[in-house]
Homo-oligomer: A and B are copies of this chain.
Amino acid sequence: MSVHERKQREQAERERLIVATARELAEQQGWDAVTTRRLAERIEYSQPVLYSHFRGKREIIGAVALDGAAELAAAARAAASAESDPRARVTALALAYLDFAEQHPAVYDAIFQLDGGLAFAQEDTPEPLKDAFAALLETLGEVAGEGVEPGLFTELFWASLHGIATLTRAGRLPREFAEQRVDLLVERLAVV
């Protein structure tokens, strides 16, 4: 039995290696550079090995997305917990979110932009994704305002952040005045 267990351990180990390498490659050179050949070469196995762990490239992206979602949730909670005033918390959360998107564009894309074959906003949504939303909800729910469903408010606030993040990164929004935009967003949307 222990042989079998060792093999399983090695299997899991290699799976982590694949995901970590894919992420690294994506962050260094963008997702376009993450080809199955290059990925295989980096992990020092042949291409077909990838397919014994994942159904295809899409599932690898999905795996990176799940990892990233957990980190995003942690970053959001860390930023929020550093502030006591509700409004300051929201600002900190927003800045942390945008910072994550800026610092880890490839991971952000894996989560929100690319097709990782993941289900969103459904019962079978993977836990890390649900939890990332929950992390936002914890802080944003407090400033939804009376008569406004916290979930709906969180969705809206999140969508706004997502729009800012993606448009900025794609060069559609000037980086100038980024902070003013966030301030204005918080000032108007958040009800104290």
A residues with a Cβ closer than 8 A to B are 112-113, 119-121, 148, 152-153, 155-156, 158-164, 166-167, 170-174, 177, 180-181, 184-185, 188-189, 191
Contact = CB atoms under 8 A, between A and B. Distances in A.
Nearest to A172: B120
- The complex is assembled from copies of this chain, and their number is 2
Contacts of A172: 112, 120-121
Given A159-B160, A163-B164, A188-B189, 17 more contacts: A112-B170, A121-B171, A148-B184, A156-B160, A156-B164, A156-B181, A159-B163, A159-B164, A159-B173, A159-B181, A160-B160, A160-B163, A160-B185, A162-B166, A163-B166, A166-B166, A189-B189
A134 to B, nearest CB: 15
Taking chain A's interface residues, is the majority helix, strand, or loop, or is none over half, making it mixed? helix
B164 A152 contact: no
A105 to B, nearest CB: 14
A185 B159 CA distance: 11
A184 B119 CA distance: 26
A36 to B, nearest CB: 17
29 contacts: A112-B167, A112-B170, A112-B172, A113-B170, A119-B171, A120-B170, A148-B184, A152-B177, A152-B180, A152-B181, A152-B184, A155-B181, A156-B164, A156-B181, A156-B184, A158-B163, A158-B167, A159-B160, A159-B167, A159-B181, A160-B160, A160-B185, A161-B163, A162-B163, A163-B163, A163-B166, A188-B188, A188-B189, A189-B189
